[in-house]
Amino acid sequence: MNGPVIEGKLVHLRPPTSDDAVVMITWLEDMEVTRFLLRRHPPSLDEEKEWLEKMARDPDHVVWSVERNGALVGITGIHAINWKYGSGTTGTMIGDRTAWGKGLGREVMQLRTRYAFTQLPLRKLKSAYFDGNEASAKAQAAAGFREAGRYRGESFVDGRWVDQVLTEVLREDWLKANS
Ligand SMILES: CC(C)(COP(=O)(O)OP(=O)(O)OC[C@H]1O[C@@H](n2cnc3c(N)ncnc32)[C@H](O)[C@@H]1OP(=O)(O)O)[C@@H](O)C(=O)NCCC(=O)NCCS
């Protein structure tokens, strides 16, 4: 499913369109952007459009494009939602490097968490980051995610094996912190 419009102080979340794919593939060509991602090879334009169309059709995903000052800078989503057990797995890419370090990632994750716990009946969001991705670690922490465990040596980044840190935020903890 495409996510509805959510207005933040820094970012505007909106439903993706297939035209977004043109910009999105340029992010995935950039090894600085993909350093800590599982997707490290740029897709073709058609593949990226297909991915967006698949996400829009699939009721177990909610995906948003991220805009700053009217420009597309990233993509975020809640994926593989398990409606029976009330969990989903989040992901975010601020693909425009000039937009890094300005608080966008943090606000995106905070808005998405609020949506998951106030507009969807979810009880837990799961996520992860690779050791060394300090911006992701801090942005997730600011949205309430806490370390739940780690897979050792899960990915190969810049010549070394790095752990994948598994994180989660529970609805009850988020409600306590945000009421
Ligand atoms: C990870 C990502 C989403 C973070 O978004 P961002 O907008 O750059 O991050 P923010 O500006 O919101 O910063 C969040 C925190 O990280 C810190 N931070 C930002 N860049 C940093 C860096 N390079 N090194 C260390 N800390 C950093 C900020 O100071 C802030 O800390 P604070 O909460 O203590 O103030 C973004 O950089 C990104 O999409 N990177 C490429 C793809 C990726 O790695 N996605 C995440 C996969 S798990």
pLDDT given for residue 139 in this prediction: 98
Do residues 48 and 39 make contact, with C-beta atoms less than 8 angstroms apart?
Answer: no
Q: Are strands 124-130 and 87-94 parallel, antiparallel or unpaired?
A: parallel
Phi-psi region of 87 (alpha: psi -120 to 50; beta: other; left: phi over 0): beta
Residue 160 alpha carbon to ligand 1 centre in Å:
21
Q: What is the pTM of this model?
A: 0.97
Which residues are bridge partners to 160 per DSSP? 157
Choose which residue among 138, 140, 147, 155 to substitute to test ligand 1 binding: the one with the highest number of ligand atoms within 8 A of its C-beta: 138
* DSSP category for residue 2: B
% of the chain beyond a pLDDT of 70: 100
Which residues are bridge partners to 91 per DSSP? 77
Token pair of 13 as six digits: 């979340």
Residue 106 alpha carbon to ligand 1 centre in Å:
7
Regions in the chain scoring below 70 on pLDDT? none
Cβ(8) – ligand 1 distance below 6 Å: no
| Residue 45 to residues 20, 132, 156, Cα–Cα distance (Å) | 10, 30, 26
Cβ(105) – ligand 1 distance below 6 Å: yes
Cα-Cα end-to-end distance for the chain: 28
The C-alpha angle with vertex 15 and arms to 57 and 9, in degrees rounded to 5, equals 150
Cβ(64) – ligand 1 distance below 6 Å: no
pLDDT given for residue 179 in this prediction: 86
CB contact burial 54-67 (16+ within 10 A = b; e otherwise): ebeeeeebbbbbbb
Cβ(153) – ligand 1 distance below 6 Å: no
Cβ(28) – ligand 1 distance below 6 Å: no
pLDDT given for residue 98 in this prediction: 97
Q: In angstroms, rounded to a whole number, what is the distance separating the alpha carbons of residues 28 and 54?
A: 18
Domains annotated on the chain, with CATH: 6-177 (3.40.630.30)
Residue 81's closest CA among 101, 60, 53, 65? 60
pLDDT given for residue 31 in this prediction: 97
Q: What tens digit of pLDDT does each residue of 60-81 get? A: 999 999 999 999 999 999 999 9
Residue 84 alpha carbon to ligand 1 centre in Å:
32
Pseudo-torsion of CA 151, 156, 161, 164, nearest 10°?
-20
